């Protein structure tokens, strides 16, 4: 078996080979289809989920988000594959990512903050920091993430290169990156085996759908070529044709209670607002809205507030409870009687800023992790979920002024070496 270090060198070679012509990577199907396991992914599935209960929600009983990468709204919305999705669903025309680059956006979608992060380092977030997974589990709602080309269930490493199925004459390709896998970054998930077992590969996905055990909340990350990161939007469109379109016709994935969000992590250009293309599809969307667009102002935090409103969950008490940046998807808001905020373009915060926010994952302006304001109320009207290990007396008021650790020759204590493959001990 390759060590992660050797494989990342192999993939560096692949990257150098292709870097001047990203679109030169030929598209290829990794397998026979989304419901069949393939040796082009590293490990075959060894386990299956066993979730019995389906907890009904006000608007949907299954939420699936699928994240693509770094693409212009105008480009995505003029690509046939994405137009095809738009015709079946609701296009969100004022949906913003929350910062740059990738990793803080993925993290924000799970724990309701980017924590000041402004790069793609090997971060881990301590056990006392809650995520949407705590909120879901409190109500018995099952969940999983499915990561294409992650080599094994709950794999902890920074990246993974596997056989280059796009071009077998090339070295193994770095298809999997930890920075696009938000549950793995949160210790409140990975420290517990019954949770890390839900950080799954696409072979596990094929196993779970065939076994009828797909969970109610899913976060899906295509690999580094299929998500357009190393390629183009047309390449990603071939992936949606191969993977998503058959699943939209498959009752085991999409039925009248399903909501699927196809979104992008961030806008490609840093010096303008961070608008991204997002489209909602799936059987739970009211028929009269299919093929329309919705100009409500949304952000990645809206994925948290929307599931909270739908399933009557508590809030994390972070930006998911900040009403000005977390509007609930409009038809869901209508169904639960939630009042969204009407935000004019000029009042949308600058989401293109990076590394300017104080926080535990910003080495330039470091502060410790502090407790949320427990008096906040989320979109469901419920209060804040409090992690058992959280020191509730350590609030924003108690936090010392931010420190520039970089100037002291050090960095955030929540960064691990890139060659880490096992959980940190603390
Ligand atoms: C891997 O993918 C390539 C390209 O689509 C295909 O030719 C090959 O048959 C696949 N291998 C397996 C084991 O499925
Ligand atoms: C269901 O899951 C089990 C355990 O992973 C596996 O052995 C079995 O092949 C799966 N069933 C199908 C139909 O894939
Ligand atoms: C970024 O967002 C702006 C709107 O703020 C949009 O005009 C542009 O197409 C988006 N994408 C890129 C790559 O600029
Ligand atoms: C299944 O187990 C084998 C042996 O431990 C491992 O190599 C493989 O990666 C596992 N597959 C998954 C999807 O975890
Ligand atoms: C962020 O975008 C605004 C336009 O919306 C622009 O005026 C500003 O310069 C950008 N900020 C950075 C740091 O590029
Ligand atoms: C809510 O978001 C706005 C816009 O980013 C920000 O100005 C405000 O400080 C936030 N409020 C809280 C409590 O975080
Ligand atoms: C959360 O845990 C980390 C790591 O143990 C600690 O540094 C931090 O102070 C804790 N914060 C709160 C509010 O409990
Ligand atoms: C922190 O220190 C670094 C290195 O000395 C410097 O480049 C940077 O501008 C400082 N940042 C802040 C916010 O003080
Ligand atoms: C990780 O790399 C560092 C050097 O950056 C080295 O000292 C350490 O032994 C390596 N650890 C592992 C587990 O390979």
Spatial distance between the Cα atoms of 321 and 376, rounded to a whole number of angstroms: 7
* Nearest CA, atom 8, ligand 4: 43
- Which ligand has the shortest distance to the CA of 326? 6
pLDDT at 281 exceeding the cut of 60: yes
CB of 12 closer than 6 A to ligand 5? no
In this model, does residue 289 exceed pLDDT 50? yes
Cβ 273 vs Cβ 351: under 8 Å: yes
State the Cα angle at 180 between 343 and 261, rounded to 5°.
45
Atom of ligand 5 nearest to the CA of 354: 13
Report how far residue 406's alpha carbon sits from residue 181's, in angstroms, rounded to the nearest whole number: 26
Cα of 77 from ligand 9 centre, angstroms: 44
Q: What is the mean pLDDT of residues 415-425?
A: 97
Calpha distance 60→258 (Å, rounded): 6
Q: For residue 269, name the pLDDT band (cuts at 50, 70, 90).
A: confident
> Any idea what DSSP says for residue 240?
I
Q: What is the CA(149)–ligand 2 centre distance, in A? A: 19
The catalytic site residues sit at 230
Q: Is the pLDDT of residue 16 over 60?
A: no
Any idea which ligand is nearest the CA of 269?
3
> Which one of the ligands is nearest to 358 CA?
8
Considering the segment(s) 58-408 as one domain, its CATH architecture is 3-Layer(aba) Sandwich (3.40)
Identify the residue whose C-alpha is closest to ligand 3 atom 13.
Answer: 72
**Mean pLDDT, residues 261-276:** 86
What rounded mean pLDDT belongs to the chain? 93
Predicted local distance difference test score (pLDDT) of residue 51 = 86
What residue owns the CA closest to ligand 5's atom 4?
272
Looking at the predicted structure, is the pLDDT value of residue 97 above 90?
yes
- pLDDT class for 273, splitting at 50, 70, 90? confident
**In ligand 7, which atom is closest to the CA atom of 371?**
13
The pTM of the whole model exceeds 0.85: yes
Residue 125 CB–ligand 7 contact under 6 Å? no
Is the pLDDT at 9 greater than 60? The verdict is no
Mean of the pLDDT values across residues 212-236? 96
> Does ligand 3 lie within 6 Å of residue 87's CB atom?
no
Q: Which residue has the tokens 């990512």?
A: 97
Can you give the pLDDT at residue 362? 98
370 ligand 7 Cβ < 6 A = yes
Exposure pattern of 329-357 as b/e (b: 16+ CB <10 Å)?
Answer: bbbbbebbebebeebeeeebeebbebbeb
CA of 252 to the centre of ligand 2 (A): 15
CA of 128 to the centre of ligand 7 (A): 6
Kindly give the distance from the C-alpha atom of residue 184 to the centroid of ligand 5, in angstroms, as a whole number: 31
pLDDT band of residue 15 (cuts 50, 70, 90) is: very low
Identify the residue whose C-alpha is closest to ligand 4 atom 7. Answer: 43
Task: Verify whether ligand 1 is closer than 6 Å to residue 40 (CB atom).
Answer: yes
pLDDT tens per residue, range 136-167: 999 999 999 999 999 999 999 999 999 999 99
Question: Cis peptide leading into 101, omega within 30 of 0?
Answer: yes
56 lines ligand 7 (CB under 6 A): no
Spatial contact of 328 and 311, defined as CB atoms under 8 Å apart? no
Q: Identify the sign of the CA torsion 308, 314, 317, 322.
A: positive
Residue 234 is predicted with a pLDDT of 92
Output the six-digit token pair for 95. 């949906």
Residue 422 CA to ligand 2 center (angstroms) comes to 28
Atom of ligand 6 nearest to the CA of 319: 14
Distance of CA 345 to the CA centre of its chain: 25
Tens digit of each residue's pLDDT (9 = 90 or more) over 368-417: 999 999 999 999 999 999 999 999 999 999 999 999 999 999 999 999 99
């Amino acid at each position: 078996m390759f060590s992660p270090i050797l494989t990342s060198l192999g993939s560096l070679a692949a990257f150098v080979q292709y870097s001047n012509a990203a679109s030169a990577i030929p598209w290829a199907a990794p397998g026979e289809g989304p419901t069949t396991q393939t040796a082009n992914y590293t490990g075959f599935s060894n386990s299956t989920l066993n979730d019995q209960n389906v907890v009904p929600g006000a608007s949907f009983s299954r939420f699936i988000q699928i994240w693509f990468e770094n693409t212009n709204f105008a480009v995505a919305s003029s690509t046939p594959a994405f137009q095809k999705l738009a015709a079946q669903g609701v296009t969100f025309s004022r949906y913003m990512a929350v910062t740059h680059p990738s990793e803080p956006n993925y993290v924000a979608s799970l724990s309701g903050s980017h924590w000041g992060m402004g790069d793609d380092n090997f971060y881990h977030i301590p056990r006392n920091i809650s995520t949407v997974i705590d909120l879901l589990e409190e109500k018995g709602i099952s969940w999983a993430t499915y990561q294409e080309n992650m080599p094994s269930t709950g794999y902890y490493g920074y990246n993974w290169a596997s056989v280059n199925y796009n071009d077998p004459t090339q070295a193994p390709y770095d298809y999997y990156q930890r920075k696009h896998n938000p549950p793995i970054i949160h210790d409140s998930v990975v420290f517990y085996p019954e949770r890390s077992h839900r950080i799954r590969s696409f072979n596990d996905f094929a196993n779970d759908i065939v076994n009828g055990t797909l969970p109610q909340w899913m976060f899906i990350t295509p690999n580094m070529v299929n998500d357009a990161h190393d390629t183009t939007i047309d390449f990603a469109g071939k992936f949606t044709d191969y993977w998503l379109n058959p699943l939209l016709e498959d009752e085991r994935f999409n039925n009248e209670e399903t909501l699927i969000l196809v979104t992008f992590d961030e806008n490609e250009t840093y010096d303008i607002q961070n608008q991204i293309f997002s489209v909602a599809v799936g059987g739970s969307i009211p028929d009269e809205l299919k093929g329309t667009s919705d100009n409500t102002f949304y952000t990645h935090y809206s994925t948290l507030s929307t599931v909270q409103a739908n399933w009557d969950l508590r809030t994390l008490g972070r930006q998911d409870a900040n009403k000005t940046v977390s509007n609930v998807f409009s038809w869901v808001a209508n169904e639960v009687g939630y009042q969204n905020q009407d935000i004019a373009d000029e009042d949308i915060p600058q989401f293109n800023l990076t590394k300017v926010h104080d926080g535990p994952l910003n080495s330039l302006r470091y502060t410790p992790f502090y407790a949320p304001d427990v008096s906040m109320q989320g979109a469901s009207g419920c209060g804040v979920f409090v992690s058992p290990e959280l020191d509730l007396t350590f609030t924003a008021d108690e936090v010392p002024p931010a420190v520039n650790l970089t100037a002291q020759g050090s960095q955030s204590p929540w960064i691990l070496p890139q060659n880490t493959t096992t959980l940190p001990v603390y």
